[in-house]
Amino acid sequence: MPADIELIYQRGSHYDFLCGTAVPPFWLDHARRYGGPILELGCGTGRLAIPLAQAGYAVTGLDRSPSMLTEARKKAARQGVKVHWQEGDIRAFTLDPVFAWAFLANNTLCHLLTRMDFEACLACVRRALKPEGYFIVEVFVPNLALLLQPSDARHIFAEYDDPEGRGHIVVWETSLYDPSTQIKHNRISYQFPDQANDEVGDLPMRMYFPQELDALFHYNGFIIEHKYGGLDGRPFDAAASTQVFVLRMA
């Protein structure tokens, strides 16, 4: 496993226990609207790519973690669906420009830690889309109370029973926000029942504020067709905790 792949992405069989498996209707609704082929960036274990393929769409899932893709392939095989799984970096991939739409879900955008990362990713997306293609991004609105919490404040990120049968696992998180870079440096600790010491890794995440994202998409060649405050299509306003962009190429 490459050293730069964060700890939570090094165990594909654990990921669904950490982040859930729910599939909001939003994604299938937009597949019906835009058709296929579809490209998911940072597809993980296939939580969204597999249901889209089950609905009859040609889907490509791109992820840089071999462990996540291994789990995605197992899940797709169990469910008897075909997805083209592609190992690669969302900042540096080349795919034929055949996609009707592409998407970044579940805060994956926050792994683009710098403006250069952001611009590199969007350049790849522009090349992969058909001229009339769409790009959808789902990312949280930064929560100032969480960003300002003390760096020694420790809370439970997730807990679940080990899929390998080793007992109950507790995952802890601490974090420190750097306002100069807008990066929230998360420290993730896995507490296994059969290990004396926790397994610890970093999970840096870039915070993207609403007006900042509006400008970044504009200056990287995308028009905001819709901006929602959630995957239920609610308007984006001061109460929104999520930013959902439906973008088309300028």
Residues 123 and 233 in one domain: yes
> Does residue 149 contact residue 143 with C-beta atoms inside 8 Å?
no
Residues 106 and 46 in one domain: yes
Answer whether residue 113 is part of any domain: yes
Answer whether residue 2 is part of any domain: no
Residue 182 domain boundaries? 144-206
pLDDT in tens, 139-195: 999 999 989 888 888 889 888 888 887 889 898 899 999 999 999 999 988 888 878
Residues 100 and 133 in one domain: yes
Answer whether residue 1 is part of any domain: no
Residues 112 and 153 in one domain: no
Query: 3-state DSSP call for residue 29?
Result: helix
Residues 98 and 154 in one domain: no
Q: What are phi and psi of 27, to 5 degrees?
A: -70, -40
> Does residue 177 contact residue 148 with C-beta atoms inside 8 Å?
yes
Q: Whole-model pTM?
A: 0.92
The single-letter code of the amino acid at 151 is S
Residues 243 and 120 in one domain: yes
pLDDT in tens, 78-106: 999 999 999 999 999 999 879 999 999 99
Residues 190 and 236 in one domain: no
| Total domains, the chain | 2
